[in-house]
A = this chain, B = another copy of it.
Amino acid sequence: MSIADSTSKPEPNVGIAGAALETLKAQFGDRLAVGQAIREQHGHTLTWIPNQPPDAVVFPQSAAEVRDVVNVCAAHQIPLIPFGAGTSLEGHLNAPAGGISIDLSRMNNILSVNSEDLDCVVEAGVTRKQLNSYLRDTGLFFAVDPGADATLGGMAATRASGTNAVRYGTMRENVINLTAVMADGSIVRSASRARKSSAGYDLTHLIVGSEGTLGVITELTVRLYGIPESIVSGVCPFDTVEGACDTVIMAMQIGLKPARIELLDPLQVKACNKHSKLTLAETPTLFLEFHGTEAGTAEEIERFREIANDFGGGTFEWARETSERNQLWAARHDAYWAALELRPGTECFVGDVCVPISRLAECVKETIEDIHQSGLIAPIVGHVGDGNFHVMPLVDMNNTVEVQGVTVFFDRLVERALRMDGTCTGEHGVGSGKVKYMQAEHGPGIEVMRAIKKALDPLNILNPGKIIPM
């Protein structure tokens, strides 16, 4: 639906935002939307958390316009929630206290590609697929690949990663600098374009992962990599989860640099077989990819094969052709949709924890036992090279007992990860959904976070209620 349509709908409950909306309407005209559908779309996204729409959605086109919105929200002390592509999983974009959703999707210009420096400068609304499409003829690519076609601003705000992180890093390693509008309206560039610096506090990393609670990201410089000469993907079945994990640990120890190592548990393999028409053995399975020169990838594959043999790995199948590789990774990226088909009519809650890789097999095994004991249908996929894995229980949302049971299951999952010196979220972020775990994970560190939040956003207008427990 267009914004013009949405604004012609009945007036929403604007709450305390009324006066602010008047001011914004005067400046933004039909780039301010208050229709119910668009508000609900901006208050929900892919999360399982119930919809909490903002009072309005505004579509700025420059950092100066973002600053104007921030200043209006500050003047009226109403919440402001940055919005990218709306693909977050933990209720980052919910508006529990109403306020203004600031949709950055129209700030989607690619400002410069600096091929000699292997970086580019983009507005926050550029999506990762848009960027890679733009880069196609340069021989370069942007490496971070969460499942969704998220915006780079949103990915930075949630410290996103994906299958490539084991080689290329997460947004933490891929954002060189960013520009953000702070709560006081100042427009701050966090760093220069130099690859390293010791000049003061690391504002880049402070804002990466801050989920819109410290500033609104409007622009960022991200790293690019040369497209490797040789890309080889493969699939290897294992007898046990431990065998798969031990293979990965040994491979990393001897210095192999896989671009991707994904673990699928037997249930997820079954789902992928059905959804993507594969014929894989339904056992713990690694999906792999190596990037390098022809000789380099050949050598890495051979070494990996030897290690896998030692740990109960079955026959490797390798795919060198682009079409074969794409089929494999499409199946991996469709894991969520494949999982849904395991139990039609349900919704998929996506859990996300990360532990030291030495504890991964143990953590996955305990989790599978818990799934069985809980009577859940919940496949597992993991970015195993990072120690990060997702559990995806399929939940009948009309069955409150079942919903409650899954919530408690996730509490145990997080408790298990923390006990193993891990984190409650490897890549999905805190949002609304994981605020309750922050105290247990960070202890007195929460007070440091709270002090920073209070110092930089004393009116608590920037995405309030997220990250920091009240």
Q: Name A's B-contacting residues (CB within 8 A).
A: 114-119, 139, 158-161, 165, 170, 172-173, 182, 186-203, 205-206, 208-210, 214, 225-226, 228-229, 249, 252-255, 292-293, 295-296, 299, 354-358, 386-388, 417-418, 421-430, 434, 437-438, 441-449, 451-456, 467-468
**8 closest cross-chain pairs (CB), A and B:** A205-B205, A455-B455, A116-B358, A197-B423, A194-B354, A198-B429, A193-B421, A186-B444
Chain B residues whose CB sits within 8 angstroms of the CB of A198 once the complex forms: 158-160, 209, 423, 425-430
| A and B contact pairs by CB, cutoff 8 A, 27 listed | A114-B358, A117-B357, A158-B198, A160-B198, A172-B196, A173-B173, A182-B444, A191-B423, A193-B421, A194-B354, A195-B357, A195-B387, A196-B354, A196-B386, A197-B354, A199-B438, A200-B441, A200-B442, A200-B445, A200-B446, A201-B214, A203-B445, A203-B449, A226-B253, A295-B295, A295-B299, A452-B455
Q: How far is the CB of A469 from chain B (nearest CB, A)?
A: 10
Most chain B CB neighbours (cut-off 10 Å) among A189, A197, A417, A452: A197
In the complex, A192→B437 CA distance in Å?
Answer: 13
Q: A206-B205, A445-B188, A456-B452 are in contact. Are A388 and B296 (CB under 8 A)?
A: no
Q: A159-B198, A188-B444, A430-B200 are in contact. Are A193 and B356 (CB under 8 A)?
A: yes
- Closest-by-CB residue of B relative to A215 is B448
Q: How far is the CB of A207 from chain B (nearest CB, A)?
A: 9
Q: A173-B173, A357-B116 are in contact. Are A200 and B449 (CB under 8 A)?
A: yes
In the complex, A357→B196 CA distance in Å?
Answer: 11
Chain B residues whose CB sits within 8 angstroms of the CB of A192 once the complex forms: 418, 421-423, 441
Question: By the criterion CB–CB under 8 Å, are B196 and A388 in contact?
Answer: yes
In the complex, A158→B208 CA distance in Å?
Answer: 21
Q: How far is the CB of A434 from chain B (nearest CB, A)?
A: 7
Question: By the criterion CB–CB under 8 Å, are B200 and A226 in contact?
Answer: no
Chain B residues whose CB sits within 8 angstroms of the CB of A454 once the complex forms: 455
In the complex, A437→B192 CA distance in Å?
Answer: 13
A194-B417, A199-B423, A201-B209 known; 5 new pairs, CB 8 Å cut-off, are: A116-B357, A199-B425, A203-B448, A229-B255, A452-B456
Q: A422-B194, A426-B198, A444-B188 are in contact. Are A226 and B254 (CB under 8 A)?
A: yes
Copies in the complex: 2
In the complex, A387→B424 CA distance in Å?
Answer: 37
Chain B residues whose CB sits within 8 angstroms of the CB of A443 once the complex forms: 188-189
Question: By the criterion CB–CB under 8 Å, are B426 and A196 in contact?
Answer: yes
- Closest-by-CB residue of B relative to A454 is B455
Question: By the criterion CB–CB under 8 Å, are A447 and B186 in contact?
Answer: yes
- Closest-by-CB residue of B relative to A257 is B257
Question: By the criterion CB–CB under 8 Å, are B445 and A194 in contact?
Answer: no
